[in-house]
């Protein structure tokens, strides 16, 4: 195990999460092996992951048949299947949570994508799910839509631990970070325990490259071609730099002094979609402390097999900033790209959620 590059990645201070959760992973011992052998110290899930898990696995059949006779609505049936998996994963990661003093060891559970533009509905669902799971190492996942960001601020002000997802631009990251600053201050002003809030900001990468590369290909010039395949990594590096400015700067200084946790950037959508690019592109270029990388199974296996480790997250910031500036110079509006991708991501999750609900009817 000593030559496992995943261990070296963690030695450089990066948390490594698995972007998958299913009953098969739990019951067949795979998740426990990943925790012990690879150092996985967190799990992310989403409607698409649970749709694939529940529809394609025999592990849910007996429970599903029982629930179909219980007179429950489809969403309640889905939650009755998913919540025990989340609880079991939380329990497996509890030693990590305790050993890290609450910094790691979390499992994410997402609110319904139908609530993406409903602040009050998101708040209600988040509080209900937290009460149903009853685990300290649960993160409630909400989208970085304007309504979701408002809900996130209020959840932070109420001490609810949260994963803000579907961030595709610097502007979206900024909104999420500022919401955490406000919510954390409100929590502290109300007399809350500074160590209670925990939040991560999930920045999606490969989908950014897919759309930006399409637009660069449409431009077709040599300078445009030279920019392909670099935007996702550049976005992550610039987001992390903004994280350092905000959470190690004057805006967070009083909260830090009180003992408040920083909101950690998380690299999501790290499975390479373009086969012309390295299958570990979004891992090797973004290794560094005060960050999380959540990997799908295939990317985890690829990095275990041939990943190269270096303290790379802080490198190449100037080049990353030039990349984003060059895209703007070619007329590619990255705020618009981020908004387009967020709408598309919500559509994908909503479709998966609808298929999931249909499967449990």
Residues annotated as catalytic (active site), given as ranges: 141
Least Cα distance to 359 among 55, 47, 85 occurs for 55
Strands 42-43 and 106-110: parallel
What angle in degrees, to the nearest 10, is found between the helix axes of 231-247 and 170-189? 30
3-class DSSP state for residue 107?
strand
Identify the DSSP state of 87.
H
3-class DSSP state for residue 248?
coil
In terms of DSSP H, where are the helices of the chain?
Answer: 5-11, 23-27, 30-33, 47-55, 61-68, 74-99, 119-133, 146-157, 170-189, 206-219, 222-226, 231-247, 250-258, 281-284, 297-306, 317-329, 334-359
Paired with 293 in beta bridges are: 16, 267
Give CA separation, 268 vs 131, 157, 166, 200, in Å: 26, 25, 9, 11
């Amino acid at each position: 195990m000593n030559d496992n590059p995943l261990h070296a990645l963690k030695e450089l201070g990066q948390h490594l999460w698995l972007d998958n959760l299913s009953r098969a992973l739990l019951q067949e011992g795979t998740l426990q092996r990943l925790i012990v052998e690879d150092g996985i110290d967190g799990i992310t899930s989403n409607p698409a992951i649970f749709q694939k898990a529940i529809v394609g696995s025999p592990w849910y059949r007996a429970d599903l048949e029982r629930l179909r006779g219980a007179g429950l609505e489809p969403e309640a049936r889905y939650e009755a299947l998913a919540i025990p998996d989340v609880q079991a994963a939380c329990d497996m990661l509890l030693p990590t949570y305790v050993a890290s003093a609450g910094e790691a060891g979390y499992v994410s559970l997402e609110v319904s994508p139908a609530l993406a533009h409903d602040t009050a509905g998101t708040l209600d669902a988040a509080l209900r799910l937290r009460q149903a799971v009853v685990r300290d190492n649960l993160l409630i996942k909400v989208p970085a839509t304007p309504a979701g960001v408002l809900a996130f601020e209020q959840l932070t002000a109420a001490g609810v631990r949260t994963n803000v997802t579907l961030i595709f631009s610097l502007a979206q990251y900024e909104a999420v970070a500022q919401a955490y600053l406000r919510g954390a201050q409100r929590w502290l002003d109300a007399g809350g325990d500074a160590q209670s809030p925990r939040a991560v900001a999930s920045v999606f990468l490969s989908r950014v490259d897919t759309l930006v590369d399409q637009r660069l290909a449409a431009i077709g010039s040599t300078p445009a071609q030279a920019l392909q395949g670099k935007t996702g990594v550049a976005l992550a590096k610039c987001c992390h730099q903004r994280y350092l400015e905000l959470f190690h700067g004057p805006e967070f200084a009083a909260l830090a002094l009180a003992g408040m946790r920083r909101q950690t950037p998380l690299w999501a959508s790290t499975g390479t979609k373009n086969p012309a690019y390295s299958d570990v592109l979004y891992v090797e270029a973004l290794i560094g402390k005060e960050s999380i990388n959540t990997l799908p199974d295939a990317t985890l296996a690829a990095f275990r097999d041939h990943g190269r480790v270096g303290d790379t997250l802080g490198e190449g910031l100037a080049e990353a900033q030039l990349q984003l500036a060059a895209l703007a110079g070619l007329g590619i509006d990255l705020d618009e790209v981020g908004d387009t991708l967020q709408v598309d991501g919500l559509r994908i999750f909503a479709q998966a959620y609808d298929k999931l609900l249909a499967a449990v009817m």
